[in-house]
């Protein structure tokens, strides 16, 4: 644990202190640790006053930061703060980006190429099939699928990505230690193997209704675009679409039947200008992902024989078309697992290696 992560956690627990005030304190003090321990007068001079200042003074007496951090670790999670290079690149510039994210699993730079797929919990067979198939096709093309772990459309989207051996991220409306809904425990475990569970809410936060609109801005903020697979007119998925519009994200919708209420929300979005989607190609073309993929294959051909580091070269020597677990790869290469993990991430970004799920890797064909 670093001092920075400890104090990012501390400030995130203080009501009325968000990214803007943390940035203000960071500019005034040498470190966040200095800001946390600063005298009241120094905090006022830095621009913190009123209720936020009172909340901080109370929080400093209330919270044992090492103990709070240990609670996160015992929950099987880790913290990624705004100043961490692992923080989602698309989410970071937004003015209301969460100061910290609680994460189970791993976020990767490649997750910047993501599409959020959401919709109604009471999905029809048509809606679930559309969400599953489109997510599977997108994941096959290297797109990370983001959704909310809810019943219906969300579950179908996550499963489609998993079945394609792709990456998927679930953004929760509760604490990272409070799985919701409980029946998705097995699904959540699989997501952690091929992606991550993410929450901005402190440990122990229950899945209250008021949390989900706030969660939805993170769903859209982490992605290049939002796909509404099926939704009635009063669906929380449409709140995600509104956030997407505010964040200048692309909005996609699968057309629904005009004879059922489940399709009216998506159809209305299409009337209002959302991109009508009948295949994954509609999304890939709109986001220019297909073009980027072609360019990446060209770079693979040009750089395949020229790994950038000794570690990358060693790993390539021990990898083939058959998947190999990261622990076995580390043992064969004679390298620490942490070094192997970092090198594999770079090989993935270059298109030289592929994570096929369950921490197993192979060379990209």
Concatenating the DSSP letter of every residue in 88-152 gives -TTTTTSTT--SEEEEEE---GGGGSEEEEEE-SS--HHHHHHHHHHHHHHHHTTPEEEE---TT
163-183 mean pLDDT: 96
**pLDDT exceeds cutoff 90 at 315:** no
171 beta partners: 198
Range with the lowest mean pLDDT among 30-44, 95-109, 239-253, 349-363?
Answer: 349-363
Q: Is 167 helix (H, G, I), strand (E, B) or coil?
A: coil
Residue with tokens 């959704």, as numbered in its chain = 147
Q: What is the mean pLDDT of residues 64-88?
A: 93
| pLDDT at res. 96 | 87
Q: What is the mean pLDDT of residues 246-255?
A: 95
CA 211 to mean position of chain CA atoms: 17
Q: Which fold has domain 109-287?
A: Rossmann fold (3.40.50)
Q: Indicate whether 320 pLDDT > 80.
A: no
Q: Does pLDDT of 3 surpass 60?
A: no
The answer to whether residue 66 scores a pLDDT higher than 80 is yes
Q: Which positions ≥6 away from 14 have C-beta within 8 Å?
A: 52, 55, 56, 59
pLDDT of residue 363: 81
Please give the pLDDT value at position 332.
86
- Residue 324 CA: distances (Å) to CA of 164, 222, 334: 18, 30, 15
- Phi and psi for 16 in degrees, rounded to 5? 75, 10
Q: Which residues pair with 168 in a beta bridge?
A: 145, 195
| Mean pLDDT on 273-282 | 95
Describe the crossing of helices 280-287 and 125-140 by its angle, rounded to 10 degrees.
50
Q: Which two tokens stand for residue 1?
A: 């644990």
User: Which pLDDT score is estimated for 43?
Assistant: 94
Q: Which is more confidently placed, 321 or 182?
A: 182
**In the chain, where do the E strands start and end?**
78-81, 100-105, 114-119, 144-147, 168-171, 195-199, 225-230, 250-253, 275-276, 324-325, 353-357, 360-363
Give me Rg for the CA atoms of the chain: 22
User: Positive or negative, the Cα torsion across 33, 34, 39, 45?
Assistant: negative
CATH entry 3.40.50.970 includes domain 290-363: no
| Antiparallel, parallel or unpaired: β 168-171 and 195-199 | parallel
Residue 98 is predicted with a pLDDT of 94
Percent pLDDT > 90 in the chain is 67
Contact between 50 and 60 under an 8 Å Cβ cutoff? The reply is no
Per-residue model confidence (pLDDT) at position 276:
97
- Condensed to tens digits (0 to 9), the pLDDT of residues 115-158 reads 999 999 999 999 999 999 999 999 999 999 999 999 999 999 99
Strands 195-199 and 100-105: antiparallel
Q: Are the beta carbons of 359 and 325 closer than 8 angstroms?
A: yes
Chain-centre distance of CA 247, in angstroms?
16
* CB count in 10 Å sphere of residue 20: 11
Residue with tokens 């709140």: 239
Write down the residue that tokens 């952690």 correspond to.
Answer: 192
- 264 pLDDT higher than 90: yes
């Amino acid at each position: 644990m670093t001092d920075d992560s400890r104090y990012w956690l501390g400030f995130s627990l203080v009501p009325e202190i968000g990214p803007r005030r943390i940035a203000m304190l960071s500019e005034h003090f040498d470190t966040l640790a200095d800001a946390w321990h600063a005298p009241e007068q120094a905090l006022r001079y830095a621009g913190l006053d009123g209720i936020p200042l009172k909340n901080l003074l109370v929080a400093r007496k209330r919270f044992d930061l090492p103990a709070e951090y240990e609670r996160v670790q015992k929950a099987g999670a880790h913290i990624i703060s705004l100043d961490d290079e692992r923080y989602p690149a698309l989410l970071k510039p937004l003015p209301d980006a969460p100061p910290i994210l609680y994460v189970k699993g791993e976020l990767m730079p490649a997750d910047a190429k993501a599409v959020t797929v959401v919709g109604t919990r009471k999905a029809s067979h048509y809606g679930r099939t559309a969400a599953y198939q489109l997510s599977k096709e997108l994941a096959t093309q290297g797109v990370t699928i983001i959704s909310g772990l809810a019943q219906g459309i969300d579950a179908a989207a996550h499963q489609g990505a998993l079945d394609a051996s792709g990456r998927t991220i679930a953004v929760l409306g509760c604490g990272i230690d409070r799985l919701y809904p409980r029946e998705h425990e097995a699904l959540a475990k699989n997501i952690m193997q091929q992606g991550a569970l993410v929450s901005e809410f402190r440990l122990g936060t229950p899945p209250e209704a008021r949390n989900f609109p706030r969660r939805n801005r993170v769903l859209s903020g982490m992605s290049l675009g939002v796909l509404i697979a099926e939704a009635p007119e009063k669906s929380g998925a449409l709140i995600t679409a509104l956030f997407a519009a505010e964040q200048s994200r692309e909005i996609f919708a699968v057309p629904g039947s005009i004879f059922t209420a489940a399709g009216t929300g998506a159809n209305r979005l299409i009337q209002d200008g959302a991109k009508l989607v009948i295949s994954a190609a509609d999304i890939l073309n709109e986001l220019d992902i297909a073009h980027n993929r072609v360019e990446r294959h060209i770079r693979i051909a040009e750089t395949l024989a020229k790994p950038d580091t000794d570690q990358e070269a060693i790993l390539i020597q021990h990898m083939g078309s058959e998947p190999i677990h990261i622990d076995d790869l580390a043992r064969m290469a004679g390298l620490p697992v942490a070094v192997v993990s970092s090198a594999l991430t770079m090989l993935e970004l270059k298109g030289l290696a592929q994570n096929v799920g369950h921490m197993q890797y192979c060379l990209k064909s």
